Structure 1
Amino acid sequence: MVVEPGVSGTTASNEDLDRIGAGGAERAAPPSRLALPVILLAVFVMPIGISGTAVALPGIARDLGTNPTLLQGVVNGFNAAFAIFMLVWGVLSDRIGYKITFVIGTALMVAGSVISATAPSLLVLDVGRVICGIAGAAIFAGGSATLSRAFPPEVRGRNFAIFGSTLGLGGTVGPTLAGWLIPFIEWRGVFLLYGAVAAVAFCFSRHVPRVPRPETLPAKAVDFSLLKNPVFLGFALVPVADAIGFMTIFTYLPVALSAQHNMDAPTAGSLLLLMTVPIFISPMLVAGIMRRFPSVTAMTVIYVSLAVLLIGDFGMFLLEPSIPLAWVIAPMILLGFGWGLPAGLVDGAAIGAVPVESSGTAAGVLNFLRLGSEAVAIGAYAAAIHWIIGGVVGDPALADRISAGDAGNGNVYAVAFRSVLWVLIALTALTAIAIAICHRRSSVVRS
């Protein structure tokens, strides 16, 4: 059910909202103007928590140890908890309410961030990160459902496009922001900053509208039947390709730079601007091109972006200790454009491929694939790097230090990086082929 605008100048209480029935006998007032910003603020912390934390791993390893399982749990604990509990919260939110789910998520994010910032050991830090992952899933489930049900249809697509852009922005600025902050507030301060942002969202959560729970509770947390639509599936696979071919490298590139070139966190964060700046300018560039050349379609942009992404991935083979870093500038820029070119198109195009009444469900499936694929790909990347390094050096303690970004054995890290890079390229290419097949199937159906 969508909460529709009521009489201008009136405000419905939470009790009034709870009395709204399926027949719509009572109408709720329009959501507060702060509702969307509050939801986006809380959502912004989630991708930062995924991508930005890897920059802090060398410092965390120096302070708390290099146990590989526990150290990788700093990143992967969040990812795994988020992916699993996103489905759990999807079911719970239908029963306890979307606003309550959102508020619980922001509160848990504050608690998990404080535990992470004050952790005396890697085990405690991992617990804090798992709590943050559970919190992020609650924020996502409650926030996305609220956007789907509390706003009128004419602004729903726009809101979800902004929602998706916020997720992308948080993921891309995370490493740079963390890298700049670590010299001033250290890695513990970065976790406290995540908690502070969540605390602001918690304090302003009263502006998030209370949406009536559905009378008939769905059997599934996310309705994946929309993936039978080849148009929607084709667009939904684009973030999956980006997760494999871009987010894996982007997230752990600071660790690779530390291991191979002894680069500190601020310098690594600044270098990543080569990848983030193209992401910011790409949507404007694409919009201008599509206005000037109407024959350029969303799929044209997506095909170009996938090609650029793969070329950038191949260029990252130049990242090794014996080659000057200047050689990877062009590949990093290409990767940024590969991720950024379709960023302003995918959400709107995917949601536009389904009936209006399914727009909220479509956004949920799309963002589940986006964040879920990032969580899986990033976790698998880190595990593969450590496994290969362990096989090369044969010394578990040394392998732990190299995997954490310890300098002095850059050639070993380079071997693991190149091996994993081949797998990333192959998986990205296969996903691109799947996207092309979906596009071809949709063209045949339309004809």
Structure 2
Amino acid sequence: MALVRYGTATGRWVLLATVLGSSLAFIDATVVNIALPAIGRDLGADAAGLQWTVNGYGLSLAALVLLGGALGDRYGRRRIFQLGVAWFAASSLLCGLAPTTELLIVARVLQGMGGALLTPGALAILEASFVRQDRSRAIGAWSGLAGIGGALGPFLGGWLVQLGSWRLIFLINVPLALAVLAVTARHVPESRDTTVTGRGVDLAGVLTGAAGLGGLTYGFTAWPERGADSPVVLASLAVGIAGLIAFVLVERRVAHPMLPLDVFASRAFSAANVVTFLVYAANGGVFFLVVLNLQVVAGFPPLAAGIALLPVTVLMLLLSARAGMLAQRIGPRIPMTVGPLVCAAALAWLSAIGPGASYTVDVLPPVVLFGLGLAMLVAPLTATALGALGDTRAGIASGVNNAVARAAGLLSVAVLPLAAGIGGGSLTDPVALHPTYRTALLISAGLMVVGAAVAAVFVPRRLHEATPEAAGTPETPVRSFCDPAGPPRHPTPEHV
């Protein structure tokens, strides 16, 4: 099937399907938090049970998102995306009907698996469906629109819990997922990497990769609760490290690896993922600690603290597509360097929030600055990570980038408070939290600065400088692999 243009009817349907599908996963990453008290009362869950109601989802998502990208490349990105959406709907139904905390946690883990299938598929579909000159704009629009899902989580969760029951926050996913499946089946073109069709799944890579990411994520998540000397924490971290080492060894030797290590020969791809890790590690701590500090130290009500960062989402929605178009014209290096520096300045400013802070004077200005920095950064960063490997490896590129982002966010929530000196009990003590919150925000600002330095040195000025075979030229147009039944072909003039 020929590639589509941004702004056409087909392009709008493709964007709608990927945005709605991604929003399912984004909303469920945040919506559960506000329902935890109601879940605890209804199911009699203790603190550990509530913690793993949240973390079980993120753990399975981080551990398996790389597999989701590889499966999409191999068996069809639309097919795996649809499978992920259907899986997510079924597990959401199980969450909504769960009679015990234990079954709810299991269902949340299953939800994360569904999210791991659909999330990289959404980005890979965008990369493989749009003509190259429109991809940054499409990814920018996706970034802004899908980001609304995460921001709407607290509002939606509070409204549904107040309306009737916490179970509605899961059950509402079912009709939304059915709508996504209908739009996808009718309007989204299929695409895959024809060079891997018919090969078996790299089972050893799947198992070692999941063990590595899952072990590290579980270990660092359990660290604050159990302590650094806990046998469970030490064993989990050891399994994680051993799993990642084994994963690299397996992928070097297996005939058809899930993650061909030669993808990292692309300087643009490697640099984009290093920047992703640094930026999302900073973001993970920011979105957790700022809201916490506003409530515990500054005395904001929970709802006011929850909406304090809403301007970030609004700015992402308004500016991400424009940032993608700008990066298309001037190249990714400048926005990927300037964006993190703007974010770093905003985080240093946010670190000063203390007792008696005013939202309009002390919170809103740095939040707006932070949103501007992210809007400048995210679309070029994502477009670079996906575009560096070309059309045929869009699923691998998306899976790696998503795995890096998810793992960074999960690890930072556990590691950043520890690095800043925040103990388990001090999270609710304003006297203890205030100075360590400042330290944590400054560490996050430092991560942003390092990310900017990596981008300035290693991200190419123009993406085609690193991957001329992927970018195409007027003399040699971009080749498309979007038709799984036919050979690669050039786009027709009306689609370029």
1:425 and 2:408 matched: no
Q: Structure 2: how far apart are the matches of 1:144 and 1:344? A: 12
Residue 139 of structure 1 is matched in structure 2 by 118
Residue 313, structure 1, aligned to residue 333, structure 2: no
Q: Which residue identity lines up with residue 382 of structure 2 in the other structure?
A: D
Shift of residue 81 of structure 1?
A: 0.4
Match of 1:221 in 2: 258
Contact 2:137 2:322 in 1 (8 A): no
Give 2:455's aligned residue: 435
Structure 1 window deviating more from structure 2 (275-284 vs 305-314): it is 275-284
- Which position in structure 1 is the counterpart of 2:296? 259
Matched, 1:348 2:383: yes
Indicate which of 184, 193, 196 corresponds to 2:172.
193
Report the Cα offset of residue 364 of structure 1.
3.9
**Aligned partners of 1:260 and 1:320 also within 8 Å:** yes
- What is the DSSP-based 3-state SS (H/G/I as helix, E as strand, rest coil) of the residue aligned with 2:258? coil
Q: Contact conserved, 1:157 with 1:348, CA < 8 A, in 2?
A: yes
TM-score of the superposed pair, with normalisation by structure 1: 0.72
Q: What's the counterpart of residue 286 of structure 2?
A: 249
Counterpart CA distance in 1 for 2:375 and 2:278 is 12
Change (3 A) 1:427 1:345: closer
Distance across 2 between alignment mates of 1:157 and 1:300: 15
Partner residue, 2:63: 84
Q: Is the 8 A contact 1:275 1:335 kept in 2?
A: yes
How far apart, CA to CA, are the structure 2 residues paired with 1:35 and 1:53?
A: 28
Post-superposition CA distance 1:298-349 (Å, at most 9, x none): 4222322211211221222233335444422222222212211223333334
User: Which residue matches 1:406?
Assistant: none
Q: Match of 1:302?
A: 336
Q: Is the 8 A contact 2:32 2:157 kept in 1?
A: yes
**Deviations 1:56-96, CA, capped at 9 Å, x for gaps:** 44555566567443333233211110011223444555676
Separation of aligned partners in 2, 1:155 and 1:284: 10
Q: Secondary structure at the match of 2:28?
A: helix
Contact 2:280 2:408 in 1 (8 A): yes
Cα shift at 1:273 = 1.9
Could you tell which deviates more after superposition, 220-229 or 58-67? 58-67
Alignment of 1:18-29 (within 5 A): none
The question of whether the paired residues in 2 share the 8 Å contact of 1:385 and 1:416 is answered with no
Equivalent AA in structure 1 for residue 85 of structure 2? T
Shift of 1:354: 4.3
The one-letter code matched in structure 2 to 1:116 is C
C-alpha distance in 2, partners of 1:265/1:48? 18
Q: Residue 485 of structure 2 aligns with which residue? A: none
Q: 1:62 to 1:250 in 2, by over 3 A?
A: farther
Q: Shift in Å at residue 243 of structure 1? A: 1.3
What residue ranges of structure 1 are gaps of 5+ in the alignment? 6-29, 393-398, 403-408
Q: What is the number of equivalent residue pairs in this alignment?
A: 402
CA RMSD of aligned residues (A): 4.3
* 1:41 counterpart = 2:14: no
Deviation at 1:130, TM superposition (A): 1.1
1:116 to 72, 87, 95: 95
Following superposition, the deviation at residue 135 of structure 1 comes to 0.8
- Residue 74, structure 1, aligned to residue 57, structure 2: no
Alignment map for 1:21-420 (pairs within 5 Å) = 34=13, 36-57=15-36, 60=39, 67-90=46-69, 92=71, 98-144=77-123, 162-175=141-154, 177-178=156-157, 182-184=161-163, 187-207=166-186, 214-217=197-200, 219-251=256-288, 253-261=290-298, 263-283=300-320, 286=323, 298-325=332-359, 326-355=361-390, 357-359=392-394, 361-378=396-413, 380=415, 384=418, 388-390=422-424, 392=426, 402=428, 409-420=429-440
Aligned equivalents of 2:280, 2:398: Cα separation in 1: 17
* AA partner of residue 49 (structure 1): D
CA distance in 1, matches of 2:89, 2:348: 40
Aligned-residue offset at 1:160: 5.1
Farther-moved stretch of structure 1 (337-346 vs 183-192): 183-192
**Aligned-pair distance for 1:133?**
0.5
In 2, Cα distance between the equivalents of 1:84 and 1:262?
37
Question: Are the counterparts in 2 of residues 305 and 338 from structure 1 also a CA contact under 8 Å?
Answer: yes
Q: Which amino acid aligns with 2:285?
A: T
Q: CA–CA distance in 2 between the matches of 1:166 and 1:368?
A: 21
How far off its partner does 1:136 sit?
Answer: 0.4
Relative to 1, partners in 2 of residues 1:81 and 1:350: Cα closer, same or farther, differing over 3 Å? closer
Give distance in 2, aligned partners of 1:321 and 1:150. Answer: 50
SS in 2 for 1:308: helix
1:223–1:196: structure 2 CA closer, same or farther, 3 Å change rule? farther
Paired residues of 1:234 and 1:438 also in contact (CA < 8 A): yes
Q: 1:314 aligns to what SS in structure 2?
A: helix
The whole-number CA distance in structure 2 between the counterparts of 1:150 and 1:340 is 23
Which structure 2 residue ranges, 5 or more long, are not aligned? Answer: 4-8, 202-255, 467-496
Is the 2:72–2:395 Cα contact (8 Å) retained in structure 1? no
User: What's the TM-score once normalised by structure 2's chain length?
Assistant: 0.65
Output the CA distance in 2 between the equivalents of 1:209 and 1:282. 27
Q: Secondary structure at the match of 1:344?
A: helix
**1:19 equivalent in structure 2:** none
